[in-house]
Structure 1
Amino acid sequence: MTDRALEMQVFCTVVDKGSFIAAAEPLDMSKAAVSRHVNALEARLGVRLLQRTTRRLSLTEAGRGFYQQAREVLGLMDAAESAVASGAVEPSGVLRLSAPLSFGIQHLAPLWADFLRAHPRIELDISLNDRVVDLVEEGFDMAVRIARLQDSSLIGRRLASTRMRLCAAPSYLARHPPLATPADLAAHPVIAYSHFATRNEWRFTGPEGEVSVQTHSTVRCNNGDTCRAIAIGGGGILLQPSFMLYQDLRHGDLVEILPAYRSVELGIYAVYPSRKHLPPKVRALIGYLAECFVDVAWDD
């Protein structure tokens, strides 16, 4: 509480209780501290608010007017704090969001119009980038991230999951030897995504357990859609998440390879810098995204 608000609170308590001594206990102050705050208030205003005698206190005319207005101000402060604490404040303000490029275009972009209609006082500032941003350092309110499910460093809410799928175009498979195990990938050109944590080492879980293979990339790119387009054109073997490939697999533009060998599953999270004092605008967006991703098409 600011000094001015505290002075008003002390003054109103003294008036309500009828004496400095009686006000000291509910304020958790000494009588001297109570008197000091009232004296400071009168000195700042340049008027006497209380008439003091050895037997009683009484309000001056200026004191009566100030007491009524101070009570209104303190009541408004209490109401504002209660509203914020209960989440009753309408979400508002600029919300800076970071999201992966391909996921942001394919699966987030169609959602924004409905969200803004539901929350007209929020202004979205969206940055699409596959780089992992520093939320605090770069001033983002939240981010959508796609990462390993066991990554305990994430603070936020899991929205969905997606599995990495090993795929190639039918035209590519028709021109190259078939693959029986992940080890065969070493003899094939692959289209590598630059942000893979394991770089050229691709890992799978199959009938024999965990296996990994060192791949040879003929293309390396930091954008999944570019990798996907090269694969559809027959340029090599691709390992990318199901949220990006599921329609290509349904339409036959890509074919899954080695389905008995599953690659990693990734979580899709709404993440934010801190659990403490989460702004209403961020809370509103997290809740909205959680509803939107209850059922996802790429899991079919």
Structure 2
Amino acid sequence: MGQLEDFRMFALIVEQESISKAADHMGIAKSAVSRRLSLLEDQLGTALIQRTTRQWQITEAGRLLYERTQQVMVDVDDIFADLSAQKHDEHGQIRISIPMQFGLSYLSPVLLKFSDEYPNINLTVDFTDRLVDLIEENYDLAIRISQLKDSSLISRKLADVTHLFYASPDYLKSAPPLNTAEDLKNHKLIQYGPLKRFKWNFIGPKNKEFSVSLSSHMNTNNSEFMLAAAAAGKGVARLPSFFASDYISSGKLVTVLNDLKQEPFGMHALYPGSKHLPRRVRVLLDFLSEHCQLKHRKEVGDTA
């Protein structure tokens, strides 16, 4: 394990950009770190760091060593974690990007429960609707709700996301009949996004897809506002089921067109295909999948 520990030491020097800081982090003398670095360079027969009293720069050989040993060290950590099979042995950092409203209203309790069960895993959760670049911005995971297009990223589906139609009881009392997809043309529609004219897709008899061209009465990029507008009698809104549970429970909204089938959106976890997936990230993926599928089954049962 001596050489592996030397690799860890070297990685720490690179990440801290300082032999002194690496020594402080390890709790040993700077001279001991310098000596071990020199011995490692002698073993490899090449300089890993060009250092003077004023300059510090990693060499090409040093950069190659750092990149090649990262996966080796993760693999070794995974072996120990797999053999120990104890939650408290899981440790490290996970950086994850989640859509703002979905993350706050749906995933927050799941992530907090994960933190309780895996206290040594440090989560950095970025709630943003921006499509982050996982590789350039060094994210481990991104959660997205969509019908995914082709991507260089690897996708794992965590659960289906069911979209339902919502309206207030007061709106429905005075509104035209609403029994078919075509009936939507006669209603005030609250649309997510800026499009005034759009199409909603449905699945008809024999699983044949069809679409209905519609126009919006109100547009917004905020799901909470859509729910508030629908509850205030402003029209019919189509939203993921997890957003509306409180409104349904309070009676402010009811579901309509429950017999209409739609292709479900997927809740996907994305991660770079070129990046080794540490065990702690795989543990989080399994945890999210289990709990999100359970939540989805409860929601479908609640709205049936």
Give me the TM-score of the superposition, normalised by structure 1. Answer: 0.65
User: Which position in structure 2 is the counterpart of 1:298?
Assistant: 299
- Structure 1 unaligned runs (5+)? 6-39, 45-78
Instruction: Report the Cα offset of residue 223 of structure 1.
Output: 2.1
Query: For residues 243 and 152 of structure 1, what CA distance do their matches in structure 2 show?
Result: 27
Q: Confirm whether residue 169 of structure 1 aligns to residue 162 of structure 2.
A: no
Query: For residues 204 and 81 of structure 1, what CA distance do their matches in structure 2 show?
Result: 45
Instruction: Report the Cα offset of residue 266 of structure 1.
Output: 1.2
CA RMSD across the alignment: 3.5
> Relative to structure 2, which stretch is displaced further, 176-185 or 245-254?
245-254
Instruction: Provide the secondary structure at the position in 2 that maps to 1:248.
Output: helix
User: Which position in structure 1 is the counterpart of 2:114?
Assistant: 115
Matches within 5 A, 1:257-296: 257-274=256-273, 276-296=275-295
Residues 199 and 83 of structure 1: CA distance in aligned 2, closer, same or farther (over 3 Å): farther
Q: Deviations over 1:48-74 (max 9, x none)?
A: xxxxxxxxxxxxxxxxxxxxxxxxxxx
Whether the aligned pair in 2 keeps the contact of 1:207 and 1:260 (CA below 8 Å) is: no
Instruction: Report the Cα offset of residue 87 of structure 1.
Output: 5.7
Matches within 5 A, 1:190-229: 190-194=189-193, 200-207=198-205, 209-229=208-228
Q: Confirm whether residue 88 of structure 1 aligns to residue 89 of structure 2.
A: no
Instruction: Provide the secondary structure at the position in 2 that maps to 1:140.
Output: coil
Instruction: Provide the secondary structure at the position in 2 that maps to 1:215.
Output: strand
Whether the aligned pair in 2 keeps the contact of 1:169 and 1:253 (CA below 8 Å) is: yes
Query: For residues 131 and 201 of structure 1, what CA distance do their matches in structure 2 show?
Result: 24
Instruction: Provide the secondary structure at the position in 2 that maps to 1:212.
Output: strand
User: Which position in structure 2 is the counterpart of 1:99?
Assistant: 98
Residues 199 and 274 of structure 1: CA distance in aligned 2, closer, same or farther (over 3 Å): farther
Whether the aligned pair in 2 keeps the contact of 1:165 and 1:262 (CA below 8 Å) is: no
Query: For residues 132 and 96 of structure 1, what CA distance do their matches in structure 2 show?
Result: 14
User: Which position in structure 2 is the counterpart of 1:256?
Assistant: 255
Residues 228 and 234 of structure 1: CA distance in aligned 2, closer, same or farther (over 3 Å): same
What's the % identity of the aligned pairs?
A: 34
Instruction: Provide the secondary structure at the position in 2 that maps to 1:110.
Output: helix
Whether the aligned pair in 2 keeps the contact of 1:168 and 1:254 (CA below 8 Å) is: yes
Query: For residues 87 and 273 of structure 1, what CA distance do their matches in structure 2 show?
Result: 24
Whether the aligned pair in 1 keeps the contact of 2:166 and 2:256 (CA below 8 Å) is: yes
Residues 180 and 231 of structure 1: CA distance in aligned 2, closer, same or farther (over 3 Å): same
Residues 129 and 82 of structure 1: CA distance in aligned 2, closer, same or farther (over 3 Å): closer
Query: For residues 133 and 251 of structure 1, what CA distance do their matches in structure 2 show?
Result: 36
Query: For residues 97 and 81 of structure 2, what CA distance do their matches in structure 1 show?
Result: 26
Whether the aligned pair in 1 keeps the contact of 2:78 and 2:279 (CA below 8 Å) is: no
Aligned residues: 230
Residues 223 and 109 of structure 1: CA distance in aligned 2, closer, same or farther (over 3 Å): same
Query: For residues 140 and 234 of structure 2, what CA distance do their matches in structure 1 show?
Result: 39
Instruction: Report the Cα offset of residue 299 of structure 1.
Output: 2.0
Matches within 5 A, 1:222-241: 222-241=221-240
Q: Deviations over 1:84-128 (max 9, x none)?
A: 352628544432211122221122111233322333333222122
Instruction: Report the Cα offset of residue 207 of structure 1.
Output: 4.2
Instruction: Provide the secondary structure at the position in 2 that maps to 1:88.
Output: helix
Query: For residues 268 and 78 of structure 2, what CA distance do their matches in structure 1 show?
Result: 25
Query: For residues 82 and 266 of structure 1, what CA distance do their matches in structure 2 show?
Result: 34
Instruction: Report the Cα offset of residue 170 of structure 1.
Output: 0.9
- Structure 1's consecutive aligned runs of 4 or more residues displaced over 4 angstroms after TM superposition are 79-82
Whether the aligned pair in 1 keeps the contact of 2:197 and 2:215 (CA below 8 Å) is: no
Give me the TM-score of the superposition, normalised by structure 2. Answer: 0.64
Query: For residues 181 and 169 of structure 2, what CA distance do their matches in structure 1 show?
Result: 18
User: Which position in structure 2 is the counterpart of 1:127?
Assistant: 126
Whether the aligned pair in 1 keeps the contact of 2:193 and 2:219 (CA below 8 Å) is: yes
Whether the aligned pair in 1 keeps the contact of 2:176 and 2:186 (CA below 8 Å) is: no
